[in-house]
Structure 1
Amino acid sequence: MTSKSYTAVVTTVGEGRHGGRSTTPDGNLDVVHAYPVELGGNGAGTNPEQLLGAGWSACFRGALGKAAADRQIKLGDTEVTAEVTVTADNGDHNLSAVLRASAAGVDDITLRTLMEVAHTLCPYSKATAGNIPVELIAG
């Protein structure tokens, strides 16, 4: 089996969460950052939690598809939502996440089982395992 790899390169300049800008060499990503209003910012840009949620939900959707295919389960229209929460407490920031999935034609019990398997396959889930609380919700 041939191993394949890909390295994403993203550079952030400026003040990070406070108006910094992240770009990729291919130009496919070009975002300005801002603290969310809920944390005292102006909300005039994206934030790292949104970017993590975008990547994680996309990755998890792929892992969910693999888990289903391996079990010969057909997923209908499928949606995965990642809710990434940052909690700021006396200058210390911590993350937690909720992954929600729905799939047409699959009951919630089966979907929950597939989500548990996907959680062992998804590289984002592997990277965060044991590091942040993650809740899986089917339906």
Structure 2
Amino acid sequence: MSTVLFTGTATCVGGRNGHSQTSDGSVSVDLGMPKNGVLDAGKTTPEHLFATGYAACFGSAVELVGHQKKLDVTGAAVTVAASLVKGDDGFSLAIKLSLKAPALSAEQTKEVLEAAHQVCPYSKATRGNIPVELASS
């Protein structure tokens, strides 16, 4: 049986060139579509928002795994690059997820990265749907 711990709700008007806001007002952003790789000042994209959420969630998964494995993940930084991709079947997302953990060896960083990818809710939601490339630095 599942128990809902929290629900975040957001509404967007105008799609990729509109405005998105959470029901509690904690996030309120103007959206834009980059032109020639440049985004208008003061605007963001759905990919930026997805990357931000995924990075935060994955960071918590890294902390959980570090605690379970008794590894020092202090100062660990998760970077997520969410790319909008156009293929033969239309548009989709592709993710590159990187972990930098200053107190860990390269082998330990890879171990934590792979274990966190198994428990992170975003990773679970994207598994089999979105290609996710894991990288440790």
Same fold (TM over 0.5): yes
Specify the SS of the correspondent of 2:85: strand
Instruction: Look up the match of 1:82.
Output: 80
Q: Distance in 1 between the 2:36 and 2:136 partners?
A: 27
Cα deviations by residue, 1:69-91 (Å, 9 ceiling, x for unpaired): 00111113111100111112478
Code of the aligned partner of 1:70: Q
Which of 115, 123, 126 matches 1:125?
123
Q: After TM superposition, give the deviation of residue 37 of structure 1 in Å.
A: 2.5
> Which consecutive unaligned segments of at least 5 residues does structure 1 have?
none
- Map 1:27-66; keep pairs closer than 5 Å: 27-38=25-36, 43-44=39-40, 45-66=43-64
Specify the SS of the correspondent of 2:15: coil
Is 1:76–1:106's contact at 8 Å kept on the other side of the alignment? no
Q: Is 1:23 the counterpart of 2:21 in the alignment?
A: yes
State, as a whole percentage, how many aligned pairs show the same letter.
32
Q: After TM superposition, give the deviation of residue 25 of structure 1 in Å.
A: 2.1
Specify the SS of the correspondent of 2:100: strand
Code of the aligned partner of 1:55: G
Specify the SS of the correspondent of 1:69: helix
Q: Distance in 1 between the 2:134 and 2:36 partners?
A: 24
Code of the aligned partner of 2:79: T
Q: Is 1:134 the counterpart of 2:132 in the alignment?
A: yes
- Map 1:110-121; keep pairs closer than 5 Å: 110-121=108-119
TM-score (norm 2): 0.90
Is 1:11–1:24's contact at 8 Å kept on the other side of the alignment? yes
Count the aligned residue pairs.
Answer: 134
Is 1:9–1:24's contact at 8 Å kept on the other side of the alignment? yes
Is 1:84–1:95's contact at 8 Å kept on the other side of the alignment? yes
> Which consecutive unaligned segments of at least 5 residues does structure 2 have?
none
